[in-house]
Amino acid sequence: MPEGEPRLLLETTFIGVVGAFGAQAFMWMLRGCNHIFLYILAGYLPPSDGPGSALRQTIGPHGLWLIPAVTTLGGLLSGILVYRFAPEAESHGTDTAVNAFHRKEGVIRARVVPIKMVASAITIGSGGAAGREGPIALIAAGLASLYARVAHRSEEDRRLLLLAGMAAGLSAIFRTPMGTGVFAIEVLYGHMEFEVSALLYTMLSSAVSYTVNGAMSGFGPLFRVPGIPTPVFSDYAAYAALGLASGVVGTVLPEVFYYTRDLFRALPTPVWTKPAIGGLGVGLLALCFPQILGGGYGWIQLAINGQLTLVLLVVLIFAKMAAFSFTVSSGGSGGVFAPSLFIGSMLGGAFAILFQQLPGVFVVVGMAAVFGAAARVPIATMLMVTEMAGGYHLLVPAGMAVMISYLLQVRLSSWLKYRSLYEGQVPTRQNSPAHYLEEIQIALNLLGRRNLPIAGKLGHLDLLRLLRSRIRFDLPGNRQLSMGLVRNNSPLIGNPIRWLYKQLESEDFEIIAIMRLEHILLPHPDTILKQEDRLILIVSQASQQAMTKYITPIPQLTETANQRRSSDTA
């Protein structure tokens, strides 16, 4: 066992407890905002998903007419709060946490936690069509990041604790200890890849958080699915059809979401007013379809119970898609998980009616298939949704539908601009700035094994400190160690290395290693270069400009010490 691992396990346990209490605080604040905005001001309450709650909506004497005013007010207050104090708290928080892992060395500013908590409670509590998973993921990850910095933990430990915090917060909200432990390490990457080294810590923190939260709020599943039967072979054609439909919906969802965001960004209005405009759009839509307000868990339960008509189920798929884009794409603070579950549940309920199946089973499978595809997290979603419904024997049909949906979404979205609900994802570990130093160290080891004349000098350098301090990494002969990416329009693609040397025969450079997906390749004159290859080079200062025609230099993404101290105190 590594020397620091027992300490890290204890800290992960502590993060699990913190995540549970953070989730409790956020839910308390969310219920308060919901009561003030929707019930007191608008006279409306949706069906509740709480234990023992009545599954019926309450409409006051003014009908639904005050809802647009309330959703607009909520968006305005959230916009002022976020853009004044912590702009990174906008939109869905999971993406911010993913971005912090890849590009910010596991650092989330301390002020983000309270701002995200209050802004999200206002947004969702006033009727914004967003989920609570994104905010709690960022809140718990932010608390873990704060602890790691106060305790002066290393960059690697900060990233691990950040993922543990994300898993803890989600586990408390959704009561899904296994699924959220996997989600935290799967959501980082757009392809089928995991941050496996963090799995022990995310599973431990999610289990601790689930236990602590359960002691306060109960251990029952989030949804009640009555009489789940064991699926028979004849049902699998219907599950496959649902998977195909979910793949299409999962392809459209990110496109609608991010193109709506682009439209809001282009609006010539102050940025803090845009969540209010989005809130107004949600409120006007809610005059016809109040089901789109908030997370919609009560309506999902009604779909599970088979109490919604086919026409309403189909209409709500598109209404929720529009409403959640208005809320979150405008800069409102909320998550994308709950709206995606809502859309998937309505799709599954519609297929249950069409195929004359029990609605509860198809609603659960639809939830998993749509979100698993749209967010590129098929494995975690399968586990999370079955845990939320308490139906583990649905793993086989859910797994089939999710994999069909995911594979179709990957195929269809390959031609599109926006391929996932989580823009902060990178394709694989090799594309993550979190692992660039590791890749460069591998290249240096290769360099040493090749016994080049400069290898002896490199052996005495602390590469990590050099890159963090941004001290130029000079080598003998006025050359530098450099790293570059073969971009998608580079003339290098499809050509051997000898072609590049021929094009730049007057330049002073040498390729010492090629990183291609999970493989480290030693260069050969006949090695064919591919898109997304990462080249480790030794290049003279005079030749660097000539190289940019063929590769994109990968910058050192770490902050200076002064920038770090400034961001920490903020």
Condensed to tens digits (0 to 9), the pLDDT of residues 230-240 reads 667 778 899 99
Gap between the Cα atoms of 429 and 434, Å rounded: 8
Name the burial class of residue 414, with classes exposed (0-12), middle (13-18) and buried (19+) by CB atoms within 10 angstroms of its CB: exposed
State the pLDDT at residue 462: 44
Please state, for a pLDDT cut of 90, what percent of the chain lies above it. 51
Please state, for a pLDDT cut of 70, what percent of the chain lies above it. 86
CA neighbor of 418 nearest in space, from 303, 311, 325 = 325
State the pLDDT at residue 53: 55
Q: Scanning the structure block, which residue is given the tokens 């209409």?
A: 315
pLDDT tens-place string over residues 192-205:
889 998 999 999 99
State the pLDDT at residue 288: 94
Q: Scanning the structure block, which residue is given the tokens 């089939």?
A: 400
pLDDT at 570 exceeding the cut of 70 = no
- Structure token digits, residue 406: 């995911």
**62 or 321: which carries more pLDDT confidence?**
321
Gap between the Cα atoms of 332 and 274, Å rounded: 8
State the pLDDT at residue 456: 38
pLDDT at 344 exceeding the cut of 50 = yes
Sign of CA dihedral 65, 68, 69, 71: positive
- Structure token digits, residue 363: 């609603």
pLDDT at 317 exceeding the cut of 80 = yes
At 561, the pLDDT band (50, 70, 90 cuts) reads very low
Helices 199-217 and 177-186 sit at what angle, rounded to 10 degrees? 140
Gap between the Cα atoms of 414 and 252, Å rounded: 12
State the pLDDT at residue 555: 60
Helices 112-125 and 93-103 sit at what angle, rounded to 10 degrees? 160
Structural domains in the chain, CATH included, are: 5-413 (1.10.3080.10), 430-569 (3.30.70.1450)
State the pLDDT at residue 461: 40
User: CB neighbours of 279 closer than 8 A, spacing ≥ 6?
Assistant: 71, 72, 73, 74, 75, 76, 123, 126, 127, 128, 326, 327, 330, 332
State the pLDDT at residue 533: 86
The answer to pTM > 0.85 is no
At 178, the pLDDT band (50, 70, 90 cuts) reads very high
Number of C-beta neighbours around residue 95 at 10 A: 23
At 56, the pLDDT band (50, 70, 90 cuts) reads confident
3-state SS track over 104-129: CCCCCCCCHHHHHHHHHHHHHHCCCC
Mean pLDDT over all residues of the chain?
A: 85
- Structure token digits, residue 20: 């549970």
- Please give the average per-residue pLDDT across 548-552, as a whole number: 84
Name the burial class of residue 465, with classes exposed (0-12), middle (13-18) and buried (19+) by CB atoms within 10 angstroms of its CB: exposed
At 135, the pLDDT band (50, 70, 90 cuts) reads very high
pLDDT at 548 exceeding the cut of 90 = no
Number of C-beta neighbours around residue 211 at 10 A: 16
Gap between the Cα atoms of 186 and 196, Å rounded: 9
Helix (H, G, I), strand (E, B) or coil at 288: coil
- Please give the average per-residue pLDDT across 34-60, as a whole number: 80
At 105, the pLDDT band (50, 70, 90 cuts) reads confident
- Please give the average per-residue pLDDT across 166-188, as a whole number: 93
**224 or 17: which carries more pLDDT confidence?**
17
At 444, the pLDDT band (50, 70, 90 cuts) reads low
pLDDT at 460 exceeding the cut of 60 = no
pLDDT tens-place string over residues 88-100:
777 678 888 998 9
pLDDT at 30 exceeding the cut of 60 = yes
pLDDT at 20 exceeding the cut of 70 = yes
At 540, the pLDDT band (50, 70, 90 cuts) reads confident
pLDDT at 2 exceeding the cut of 50 = no
Q: Give, as one character, the DSSP assignment of residue 189.
A: B
- Structure token digits, residue 493: 């693609």
pLDDT tens-place string over residues 254-273:
999 999 999 999 999 999 99
State the pLDDT at residue 466: 44
At 396, the pLDDT band (50, 70, 90 cuts) reads confident
pLDDT at 111 exceeding the cut of 50 = yes
At 464, the pLDDT band (50, 70, 90 cuts) reads very low
pLDDT at 547 exceeding the cut of 70 = yes
User: Comparing 95-99, 163-167, 282-286, 517-521, which segment has the lowest mean pLDDT?
Assistant: 517-521
State the pLDDT at residue 350: 96
Gap between the Cα atoms of 359 and 76, Å rounded: 38
At 467, the pLDDT band (50, 70, 90 cuts) reads very low
